């Protein structure tokens, strides 16, 4: 089972409004490339990029949605976490990802496309190591949202 695709989410007016509204980052978090896009191709490979502005990232997401070679795509906030829209509803086993700003699936992933060049900062074995399907954020670091 995989999380709902961006194509499916955009059919929901609540999510469509959210994704088409430019999120406001705290001014101190706008430096560099605070946005990332991760797209999963039909053959299972992931492609990604970093972006300076949300509109730049959004244009890439729109192209991926229209490209039949892509199974799904996500736009990720690399600097700030976002709560779900107040009237958003999603089903178990999906959990809100505050970085991807969408329902995602968190599972133990020994290797993750978004973390392939990131240093291992945490070596604990006691905490759950479930990570977001798209961005790789650990579930244990995610704020709790009820949906």
Residues 16-61 have pLDDT tens digits of: 999 889 999 999 999 999 999 999 999 989 999 999 999 999 999 9
Q: Which domain holds residue 127?
A: 6-21+32-141
Q: Is residue 27 part of a domain?
A: no
Q: How many CB atoms are located within 10 Å of the residue 2 CB?
A: 11
Which residue stretches of 21-115 are H helix? 54-66
Q: How much of the chain, in percent, has pLDDT values that exceed 70?
A: 81
Q: Is residue 147 part of a domain?
A: no
Q: Is residue 131 part of a domain?
A: yes
Q: Is residue 26 part of a domain?
A: no
Please name the helix (run of DSSP H) or strand (run of DSSP E) that holds residue 35, with its range, or none: strand 35-41
CB environment 120-143: b (16+ within 10 A), e (fewer) = eeeeeeeeebbbbbbbbbebeebe
Q: Is residue 115 part of a domain?
A: yes
Q: Is residue 132 part of a domain?
A: yes
* pLDDT at residue 127 is higher than 80: no
Q: Is residue 1 part of a domain?
A: no
Query: Domain total for the chain?
Result: 1
Query: Structure pTM?
Result: 0.83
Distance CA 51, CA 43 (A): 25
């Amino acid at each position: 089972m995989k999380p709902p695709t961006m194509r499916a989410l955009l059919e929901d007016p609540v999510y469509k409004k959210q994704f088409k509204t430019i999120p406001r980052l705290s001014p101190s978090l706008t430096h560099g490339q605070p946005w990332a896009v991760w797209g999963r191709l039909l053959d299972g490979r992931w492609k990604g990029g970093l972006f300076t502005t949300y509109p730049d990232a959004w244009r890439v997401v729109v192209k991926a949605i229209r490209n039949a070679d892509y199974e799904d795509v996500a736009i990720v906030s690399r600097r700030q976490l976002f709560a779900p829209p107040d009237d958003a509803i999603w089903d178990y086993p999906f959990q809100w990802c505050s970085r991807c700003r969408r329902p995602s699936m968190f599972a133990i992933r020994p290797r993750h496309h978004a973390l392939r060049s990131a240093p291992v900062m945490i070596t604990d074995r006691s905490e759950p190591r479930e990570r977001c399907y798209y961005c790789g954020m650990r579930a244990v670091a995610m704020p709790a949202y009820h949906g």
